Amino acid sequence: METPKKAALLKRYRLKPHLPRHVAIIMDGNGRWAKKRHLPRIAGHRAGAFSIREIVRLSGELGLEALTLYAFSTENWKRPPREVALLMQLLKQYLRSEVPELLGNNVRLGTIGNTADLPPKIGKELKESIQATSHYTGLKLILPLSYSGRADLARAVKGIAAKVKAGKLKPSAVTEKTITQSLSTASLPEVDLLIRTSGEMRVSNFLLWELAYSEFHITPTLWPDFRTPHFIAALRDFQTRQRRFGGVESVTGSVTSWAR
């Protein structure tokens, strides 16, 4: 739905009406941002939290349906314990400070990943934040935490195998849809646009199944510097893409043509 606010933003940023329904972002480059300023790495993560605030607000105002921000991967547990502890602390602070902002912007918070791995206090804070926003109907903000695309696929396959074993599902009835619906992202629209900051050309075990037909926008901008103009540039880039989904006919990205 195009609200007057959305219409004004589209005009201001010279965007066409067809926006991605779901944007996923690999927020990379916090450490390099801090290093360039001779600051500890955590200062980069702290600055990155301000980028999150700005991009979440704008995504809501533009009427995106879902925004998935890769906050902490399974592999991130391998970082020095002090950095992990500080990241967990930052997550707690983020939830405490941002929930009122999310509520004010009709944002519903969700998470994917093995959140049982999180320290109990953080897990509790997360649960409460999700609960507090559960009735909101605007942007779905998804924070993957202790997330790994391969682990999510393995979990989905285990669930499918159990149903087959129990006689609830025939092996011949297993389709791509069965897998899509067994992933932790089942309730979200297809990922239309993946953004990765800091110029790295990797998927880093993120949404492996879900990115099959996503458009990629890779920018050299480091995550703490990634603000409104960079996000708008990514959306404009997306609007130039011809989406064919493996076929030959050009599909210019209108919302209806994405509904596969």
Interface residues with ligand FPP (CB under 6 A)? 27-32, 45, 48-49, 52, 71, 76, 87, 90-91, 94, 198, 223
- Is the Cβ of residue 48 or residue 253 nearer to ligand FPP in the bound state? 48
CA atoms within 13 A on the CB side of 44: 19
- Is the Cβ of residue 17 or residue 220 nearer to ligand FPP in the bound state? 220
CB of 22 to ligand FPP, least distance (A): 19
- The full length of the chain comes to 260
Say which amino acid occupies 215.
Answer: E
Residue 133 and residue 103 in contact, taking contact as beta carbons nearer than 8 Å: yes
CB of 87 to ligand FPP, least distance (A): 6
Residue 153, helix vs strand vs coil: helix
Cα 253 to Cα 241: distance, rounded to the nearest angstrom? 7
Which residue, judged by CB position, is nearest to ligand FPP in the bound state?
31
CB of 80 to ligand FPP, least distance (A): 11
Say which amino acid occupies 29.
Answer: G
- Is the Cβ of residue 221 or residue 239 nearer to ligand FPP in the bound state? 221
Helix count and strand count (H, E) for the chain: 9, 7
Residue 146 gets the label, from left (phi > 0), alpha (psi -120 to 50) or beta, of left
Question: Cα–chain-centroid distance for residue 213?
Answer: 16
Q: Give the tokens for residue 10.
A: 């589209």
- Is the Cβ of residue 48 or residue 60 nearer to ligand FPP in the bound state? 48
Cα 169 to Cα 183: distance, rounded to the nearest angstrom? 17
Q: Give the tokens for residue 161.
A: 């195998």
Active site residues: 28, 76
DSSP structural state of residue 250? -
CB of 90 to ligand FPP, least distance (A): 5
Name 99's Cβ contacts closer than 8 Å, sequence gap at least 6.
109, 129, 132, 133
- Is the Cβ of residue 94 or residue 136 nearer to ligand FPP in the bound state? 94
- Partnered with residue 22 across adjacent β-strands are 66
CB of 21 to ligand FPP, least distance (A): 22
